[in-house]
A and B are shown apart, each in its own frame.
Chain A
Amino acid sequence: QRVTQPEKLLSVFKGAPVELKCNYSYSGSPELFWYVQYSRQRLQLLLRHISRESIKGFTADLNKGETSFHLKKPFAQEEDSAMYYCALSDGYGNKLVFGAGTILRVKS
C-alpha cells in the first residue's frame, strides 16, 4: 500500500481553482480519505470517498482506473491554507497509510 502526493507545496491565488493530487497503489478496494491539518493542529477529516459529500467546497472523486483521488475546489479561499494529507485504509478498522502531504498556500 502506498499513497503518493507529488506536490510538497501548491501556491495559488485567492479565487483560483485548486487541485491537490493523490495517487495510490493497492490491489484491492481501498477506502480513501483527505485530512486537513491547520498550523500543526489535529488532523481533521475533510472527505472520505464513500460518503461522496462536499465539505468546505472541496470534492474528490475516486478514479480506480487511474488509482487517483484528487482533491478539488473551484475557488480557493485564504482560510484553505493548510497541510492536506491523502490517506488510504484497506479495511474496516485497519490502519491509515498517509501520503507525504501537500501544503496549500492561498495568496491574496
Chain B
Amino acid sequence: EPEVTQTPSHQVTQMGQEVILRCVPISNHLYFYWYRQILGQKVEFLVSFYNNEISEKSEIFDDQFSVERPDGSNFTLKIRSTKLEDSAMYFCASSIRGYTFGSGTRLTVV
C-alpha cells in the first residue's frame, strides 16, 4: 500500500533557527496538507495545497510558515524562525479521495 513519507522523524533545533520538514506524498494524489499536534492536544490543520498553490490556511499558519513543492514530488514545510511553542508533531497528508497521513516529524525547539 502506498505511503506518505516524512523526514526527518525527529528534529531538534535552537529557538530562532529555520527548519524545513520534508514530505513525499503519494504520487497520484492531488491535494497536500500539513497538520500539527502539540503534545497532549488535538490534531490541528495548518495548510492545504493544490495545483501548486495554497488553497486554505489556518490562523496558525502565519508569516513564519511557508510551503513549497519544489520538484513535483517533495512537499516541504518551512518554519522561518522557530519558537518554543512550535514544538509539536507535524504530520503531512495527501489526498485524492481519502486522506493518507505520514508518520510525522517530531520537532523540538530548545
- List chain A positions with a Cβ less than 8 A from chain B: 33, 35, 40-45, 48, 85, 89, 92-101
In the bound complex, residues from chain B placing their C-beta under 8 Å from that of A95 are 33, 45, 48, 56
Interface set of B (CB-CB < 8 Å, partner A): 30-31, 33, 35, 41-45, 48, 50, 55-56, 89, 91, 93, 95, 97-104
A100–chain B nearest beta-carbon distance, Å: 5
Which chain B residue shows the least CB distance to A99? B42
Secondary structure call for the B interface: strand
Report how far A98 CA is from B100 CA in the complex, Å.
Answer: 14
Q: Which of A33, A43, A97, A98 has the most CB of B within 10 A?
A: A43
Task: With both chains docked as a complex, state the minimum distance between the C-beta of B28 and any C-beta of chain A, in angstroms.
Answer: 14
A94 and B48 in contact (CB under 8 A), knowing A40-B89, A41-B103, A43-B101?
A: yes
Q: List 28 A-B contacts (CB under 8 A).
A: A33-B98, A33-B99, A41-B103, A42-B102, A43-B101, A45-B98, A45-B99, A45-B100, A85-B43, A92-B97, A93-B30, A93-B50, A93-B55, A93-B95, A94-B48, A95-B33, A95-B45, A95-B48, A95-B56, A96-B33, A96-B45, A96-B93, A96-B99, A97-B45, A98-B42, A98-B43, A99-B42, A100-B41
Q: How far is the CB of B25 from chain A (nearest CB, A)?
A: 13
Bound form: Cα–Cα A98–B58 in Å: 13
CB distance from A78 to the nearest CB of B (A): 23
Q: Among B48, B89, B99, B101, which residue has the most Cβ atoms of chain A within 10 A?
A: B99
Task: List 15 other contacts, CB 8 Å, given A45-B99, A93-B48, A98-B44.
Answer: A33-B99, A42-B102, A43-B43, A48-B98, A93-B30, A93-B95, A95-B45, A95-B48, A96-B35, A96-B43, A96-B99, A97-B45, A98-B43, A99-B42, A100-B42
B95 touches A101 (CB 8 A): no
Residue among B43, B97, B103 having the largest count of chain A Cβ atoms under 10 Å: B43
Chain A residues with CB under 8 Å of B31's CB are: 93
Query: Judging by beta carbons under 8 Å apart, are B56 and A42 in contact?
Result: no
**A42 to chain B: closest CB distance in Å?**
4
